[in-house]
Structure 1
Amino acid sequence: MRAKYVMSEVFLGLWRNISMTVAMIITMAVSLTMLGAGLLLYNQVDVIEEYYQTNLEVVIYLERDISQEQIDQIESDLLSNDLVAQVQFESQEEAWKRFQDTFEESPDLVASVDPSVLPPAFRVKLKDINDADQLIAEYAEREGVSQATNQKEILQQVFDILGGAQRLTLIVALVQGVAALMLVANTIQVAAYSRRREVAIMKLVGAPNWFVQAPFVLEAVFAGVIGALFAFGTLVASKIFVIDGQFEDLFQLMPPVEWNSVLLLLPILAAISAVISAVTAWITLRFNIRV
């Protein structure tokens, strides 16, 4: 009977303050969407870094007039190097084919490049990409070598940009979260004030504090969970229509955002919203409203 009464009071309270309830749900949904995007981006940056850490190479570009004897000697030295895991020689023809495949959507660029300007190269995969500088120091000034580059340094700017976006998303989520907490507290105050006579009567007949406070706390939790569901729906839609839709070609260059990572956000967002809403409502009732 008590449970039935509490639940009826919850839905009645939500309906009485429908405009505040909708505002609370929307604010919570926005903040949780930003939080979910931040968590997803945070995880994806780690996945991308791990992916490229195992696939990054040191590229040793050779002079175009290098002799076959010099090529064989450099290859032999690389294969016997303790830092090296794998060596692949790329001829000028293969370099030209790679260039065509990379820029196949820019035919004007491909047509403007003379295949003879592309140098042969060794693509070297290291056991540990952090040893790249040591290998480069050994071969950069070697006869027949034009230059040696570390792909990690080239991609470091990308990692820095992703890290900045990661932090920005979390900061925006934090600001939105504070706004959501303030709105929850305000909504609970308004709800408690509108039912102050009912609360006073329950206290007079000896109702315990938890029984009086339960409907207000559950109202906040219910609104928070609904907001979490909207936030999750937004993230799912973003995965389907944006990541896998508009930017499908872009994400072919890096590990895809897995559905497991997206689905894992539902219990996380629901739990966060429920706990934060409940705690905020309880503190509001405990310290700001006499019940």
Structure 2
Amino acid sequence: MRFQFIVDEILIGLRRNIAMAISVVLVTVVSLFLVGLGFLAQRQVDTMKDYWYDRVQVSIFLCGDGSTAAGCADGKATEAQKEQIQADLAAPQLAAYVDKVYFETQDEAFKHFKEQFKDSALSENVTVDQMPESYRVDLKNPEQYQVVAELFTDKPGVETVESQNEVLDRLFALLNQLKLGAWMLAAVTLICSVLLVATTIRLTAFTRRRETGIMRLVGASNFFIQLPFILESMIAAAVGAGLASVALVGVTKFQIQDRLAQSLTFTNYVGVGDALMVVPWLFVIGLGIAGVSAFLALQRYLKV
């Protein structure tokens, strides 16, 4: 009997305040969708880091004819200098940092240059003699590239030491700023959702103050009186979370995987599986915000 009464009260409340319920659903959809994008942005940054840092190398370019760097005072790198660099790379103090070392000759460097710039006129004006020899160092932890870079900078026979991490660090700093912006926007919309739910519940309670007054007179508890209002807001939030989840999975599938990943293939992207892992959190956040907001609003404004 009590269960049927609560169901009837919920249906009456939703029917009387259909416009407000729709507003709660729409605000919940937008806020939770942005929260979902925030989660995916975090996952995308982590995915890109795993993809790119696994491919990062420290490149130790050796002195060539005409090099003017501090380590090239004696001209082109000698065999003794090359052997010393090779020995330093194999030294025990670098064992915790260096994974593999490759020596790239001028011919190999020229071949790679021609492949990389095959559609550019630049490749027609470069000769083998102009390409530097280099050591390509794979790191066990790419984020510790500075240890190797600092050790070989200005070393005799070394013209320059370069690492892609320097570019990647700036890229990921920008991505982290964008991710922070997404989280801030999501937080603002969640606050709007909380305020709208609280306002909706207060208005609903005011329009049904006569019914709640009668319930109090016949001995109904505060929780029993408040339960229909709380469930109304949670139902609207659940609908909003469901729609936000569909939108998030759809964007991931059709926009990220089917379009972006097919046109820009230079990295890995988040997939539908990542979006599905976010879905339960959207329901938890949506239902939690709706339930708590409604409860607190009724504690203060439901006067019977």
Report the counterpart of residue 55 of structure 2 in structure 1.
Answer: 55
Shift of 1:79: 5.0
Q: Distance in 1 between matches of 2:238 and 2:259?
A: 30
Report the counterpart of residue 81 of structure 1 in structure 2.
Answer: 91
2:230 corresponds to which of 217, 221, 229? 217
1:145/1:26 Cα in 2 relative to 1: closer, same or farther (>3 Å)?
Answer: same
1:222-254 deviation digits (Å, cap 9, x = unpaired) = 111111111111211111122113321576333
What secondary structure, in the 3-state scheme, does the structure 1 residue paired with 2:132 have? coil
1:69-101 deviation digits (Å, cap 9, x = unpaired) = 468626632552332210123344544554566
1:284 aligns with 2:294: no
- Per the normalisation by structure 2, the TM-score is 0.84
Q: Is the 8 A contact 2:99 2:139 kept in 1?
A: yes
- Per the normalisation by structure 1, the TM-score is 0.87
Report the counterpart of residue 148 of structure 2 in structure 1.
Answer: 135
For 1:39, the aligned partner's letter is: F
1:227 aligns with 2:240: yes
What secondary structure, in the 3-state scheme, does the structure 2 residue paired with 1:253 have? coil
Q: Distance in 1 between matches of 2:133 and 2:29?
A: 54
1:17-73 deviation digits (Å, cap 9, x = unpaired) = 111111111111111111111122123323433444443221112345557846862
For 2:150, the aligned partner's letter is: A
Q: Distance in 2 between matches of 1:147 and 1:231?
A: 51
Equivalence map 1:97-246=2 (5 Å): 98-99=112-113, 107=119, 110-113=120-123, 114-116=125-127, 117-246=130-259
1:285/1:100 Cα in 2 relative to 1: closer, same or farther (>3 Å)?
Answer: farther
Shift of 1:9: 2.1
Shift of 1:162: 1.0
Q: Is the 8 A contact 1:93 1:115 kept in 2?
A: no
Q: Is the 8 A contact 1:35 1:173 kept in 2?
A: yes
Report the counterpart of residue 35 of structure 2 in structure 1.
Answer: 35
What secondary structure, in the 3-state scheme, does the structure 2 residue paired with 1:32 have? helix
Report the counterpart of residue 26 of structure 2 in structure 1.
Answer: 26
1:14/1:98 Cα in 2 relative to 1: closer, same or farther (>3 Å)?
Answer: farther
1:186/1:86 Cα in 2 relative to 1: closer, same or farther (>3 Å)?
Answer: same
Q: Is the 8 A contact 1:243 1:251 kept in 2?
A: no
Shift of 1:272: 1.0
Q: Distance in 2 between matches of 1:173 and 1:103?
A: 43
Report the counterpart of residue 253 of structure 1 in structure 2.
Answer: 266
* Count of matched residue positions in the alignment of Structure 1 and Structure 2: 287
Per mean C-alpha deviation after superposition, the further-off stretch among 229-238 and 213-222 is 229-238
Per mean C-alpha deviation after superposition, the further-off stretch among 54-63 and 15-24 is 54-63
1:100/1:224 Cα in 2 relative to 1: closer, same or farther (>3 Å)?
Answer: farther
Residue ranges of structure 2 left out of the alignment (5+ in a row): 66-75
For 1:3, the aligned partner's letter is: F
Q: Distance in 1 between matches of 2:210 and 2:254?
A: 50
1:246/1:152 Cα in 2 relative to 1: closer, same or farther (>3 Å)?
Answer: same
1:179/1:259 Cα in 2 relative to 1: closer, same or farther (>3 Å)?
Answer: same
Residue ranges of structure 1 left out of the alignment (5+ in a row): none
Q: Which protein has the larger Cα radius of gyration, Structure 1 or Structure 2?
A: 2
